[in-house]
A and B are shown apart, each in its own frame.
Chain A
Amino acid sequence: MNGVVVVTGAARGIGRVIAETIRGSGPLSVVGVDVSPELAHSDGIVPVQVDLTFGEGPSMVKEAVEQTGLPLVGLVNNAGITRDARLINMADADFASVIEVNLGAAFRLSTTLSPLMGPGGAIVNIASRAYLGNFGQYNYSMSKGGLVGMTRALAIDLAPDVRVNAIAPGLIASEMSLAIPDDIREKMIAAIPLGRMGEPEEIAGAVWYLLSPQSSYITGHVLVVGGGRSLT
């Protein structure tokens, strides 16, 4: 497998670990995409600082891929934000921003980049276990469910050349989860059969598997990486 993989939300957290894991796992080059300037400091990753929710964003990523001169073999739609509130209190702006960043950006980038991908290509969408429902996250849950739906549709549309799968992480040690109040986070951990938060590297490992030829007969699948949380 030789070529370039695009990773969104690559400046920090899970996205950064995904990008570094792919870069360190073999001959693949990585185009890291993020709205944050922190991205420029990532070693060995071609940075593209852009807001994917605006018109030219996906085209700028496409240009960056073409400038590498390498075939596009993978896309990881990882960028995501939360703006939590109960449905009755949810502000229009908080609904709109989560839907645009988590779902709209992935839709636009996937439709822009997928024509560049040939046989053996793979797309991995980072959804969330919240697509099964999670208190105070109507917007986030909807966005991640939408990603799951998009995964199924693109798996059909882009077959047989390109495989499309999703990962639904549970509680992962990241800035997003560390912002949860301690007492609530401890209750969440107590409900996880494996008894701990996941590490970003454990999501990156699942992403690498779904990008690689090891998963060559898997498409349209949602892989829940959550320590068994959905069982309890």
Chain B
Amino acid sequence: MSGEIRLPEGIEAGDQSLEQGLIFWAKPGAETWDDARNELTDAFERSRECARNDDSFVYIVANDALLGRRGPADAIVAAGLLSAARTAAIEGLKKGWTANVIAFDDGTEPAAMIERAIALLDDGLVTGELVHLGSGHIGKALA
């Protein structure tokens, strides 16, 4: 199985590609429950396929969404993916695959985020972790 980088519409992240694993960048702008459910379901289906191949995955979410600053539907997607990654990380331990989350501040270069995500996929030691890119999380409540 070849790897997959799933980007939101309109996001250009250079010509990087994956040999294996999944990078799932959550679509921004969820407003309704249907928006949120469809995004979570998409992440589930792609992650399940990835895990069945013993491949690692990384979710990418906006830090503002994780903190609840972009409305409830966007927050549901971001925080739901974080919790799902934590559970998946536990399940991947014996098989050696990992699950992590990158949370980014507005203005972070997409290509830089994909680079970090690929590094997490290649690393194999970091799992169940929330990696912040930027400083928007400092001094804010999040667990």
Question: A residues engaging B (CB < 8 A)?
Answer: 86-88, 90, 92, 95-96, 99-100, 103-104, 107-108, 110-111, 130-139, 141-157, 220-222
Contacts and interface: CB of A to CB of B under 8 A. Distances in A.
A149 B66 contact: yes
Nearest to B45: A92
A216 to B, nearest CB: 18
Contacts of B76: 103, 107, 146-147, 149-150, 153
Contacts of A139: 44
Contact of A99 (B40, B78, B87, B88): B40
B28 interface: no
A148 B78 CA distance: 10
B48 A144 contact: no
A96 to B, nearest CB: 7
Contacts of A90: 44, 48
B89 interface: yes
Contact of A138 (B44, B72, B73, B78): B44
B79 A135 contact: no
B87 A141 contact: yes
30 contacts: A87-B87, A88-B51, A88-B52, A95-B44, A110-B72, A131-B83, A132-B143, A134-B87, A135-B90, A136-B87, A137-B87, A138-B47, A138-B91, A145-B79, A145-B80, A146-B40, A146-B80, A146-B83, A148-B83, A149-B66, A149-B68, A149-B77, A149-B80, A150-B76, A150-B79, A153-B70, A153-B72, A153-B75, A153-B76, A220-B141
